[in-house]
């Protein structure tokens, strides 16, 4: 009798928790934020979304775009971390989170960035914007231009710090897109990982607004934001092994819910996905035969590697197929498509790469052969 009871209990557990269910599952109901996205950062693949294109204010998460333009200015040589930045009257007038800049006060760009990232300082963000573009309005134009380049179709910026303003909107999806672009500049992590620091030669202490820095394994950043219109928002970045994630939550009622939602999304990603680097299969030839050409063979090119997101444990199930004819006919142009390399999982294509000619091959002709013979004779 006891044996039957145990078997019945085991069967009931299997029915309640099927093997196909994913660890740490999240849903639109378990995520309290009205809008959310989980993205794998290296590939841009969306792992989870809830009202991801709903247009909403995002408070100081706006500063992700501000910081993206700052780091692009550094890369281009337009801005140096050692530059001295002077606070204008406009920058010093910002409310909300700030470092109480006074008109005419100077700080290095390095400290202004630190204040913007760690303390979410609205005045420092405006001071950086004015230094780079001449005025906040000109900087905002560049923010919107960059958003269009990144295909952030749900976004309109009206300021560079995220203070509530009519028409200043974005979406969880767009925040993930600009966060993905910002973290390509790995220098950002030198700032976003700071928990406690000082400015003004130790006179001003700043504490990071991202509480996950103290509680979440693998957290690297990125930016929080809170206003009356936006609620509690966050773009959280974390990395474990080869998996890099971006969790965006917008419109939470409390900071506690914001951090809980972001952590739940990150947990779900780390528990369930892997990032697999695709490499060329052993059967991939290095060249292909040419019919009727001035060369007998032509070397081929194919992307050496690419990354895809797969369910954890399925990395070894990816299959490769090389679709390439035994020979091709001349003439052949450089970069001419000759075939395809296809990666599949469970019979579905997950990645395709074009196989192309590494150099041109002319079609054989009597005059070309005669010219070759002549050149070989005069070189004797």
Write out the catalytic residue numbers.
Answer: 60, 63, 120
Helices 136-149 + 63-76 axis angle, to 10: 90
Judged by phi (left if over 0) then psi (alpha if -120 to 50, else beta), residue 266 lies in alpha
Decide the pairing of beta strands 287-291 and 297-301.
antiparallel
Could you give the CA distance from residue 19 to residue 90 in angstroms, rounded to a whole number? 59
Q: Taken in order 171, 129, 182, 31, is the CA torsion positive or negative?
A: negative
Structural contact between residues 56 and 69, judged by C-beta atoms closer than 8 angstroms: no
Q: How many residues does the chain have?
A: 380
Which positions ≥6 away from 15 have C-beta within 8 Å?
Answer: none
């Amino acid at each position: 009798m006891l044996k039957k009871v145990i078997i019945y209990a085991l069967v009931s557990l299997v029915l309640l928790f099927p093997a196909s269910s994913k660890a740490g599952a999240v849903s639109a109901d378990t995520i309290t934020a009205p809008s959310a996205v989980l993205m794998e950062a290296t590939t841009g693949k969306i792992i989870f979304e809830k009202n991801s294109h709903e247009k909403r204010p995002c408070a100081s998460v706006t500063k992700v775009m501000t910081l993206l333009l700052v780091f692009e200015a550094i890369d281009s040589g337009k801005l140096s971390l050692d530059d001295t930045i002077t606070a204008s009257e406009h920058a010093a007038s910002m409310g909300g989170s700030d470092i109480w800049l006074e008109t005419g006060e100077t700080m290095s760009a390095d400290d202004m960035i630190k204040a913007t990232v760690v303390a979410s300082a609205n005045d420092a963000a405006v001071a950086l914007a004015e230094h780079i573009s001449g005025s906040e309005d000109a900087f905002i134009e560049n923010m919107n231009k960059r958003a269009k380049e990144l295909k952030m179709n749900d976004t309109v910026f009206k300021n560079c710090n995220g203070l509530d303003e009519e028409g200043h909107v974005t979406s969880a999806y767009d925040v993930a897109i600009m966060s993905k672009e910002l973290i390509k500049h790995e220098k950002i992590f030198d700032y976003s990982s700071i928990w406690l620091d000082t400015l003004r030669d130790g006179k001003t202490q700043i504490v990071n607004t991202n509480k996950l820095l103290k509680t979440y394994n693998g957290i690297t950043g990125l930016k929080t934001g809170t206003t009356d219109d936006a609620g509690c928002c966050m773009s959280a970045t974390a990395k474990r092994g080869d998996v890099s994630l971006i969790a965006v939550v917008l419109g939470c009622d409390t900071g506690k819910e914001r951090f809980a939602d972001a952590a739940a999304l990150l947990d779900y990603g780390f528990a369930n996905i892997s990032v697999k680097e695709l490499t060329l299969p052993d059967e991939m030839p290095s060249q292909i035969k040419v019919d009727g050409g001035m060369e007998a063979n032509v070397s081929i090119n194919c992307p050496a590697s690419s990354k895809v997101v797969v369910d954890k444990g399925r990395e070894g199930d990816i299959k490769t197929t090389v679709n390439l004819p035994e020979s091709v006919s001349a003439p052949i142009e450089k970069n001419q498509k000759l075939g395809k390399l296809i990666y599949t999982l469970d019979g579905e294509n997950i990645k395709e790469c074009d196989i192309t000619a590494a150099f041109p091959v002319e079609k054989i002709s009597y005059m070309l052969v005669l010219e070759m013979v002549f050149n070989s004779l005069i070189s004797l």
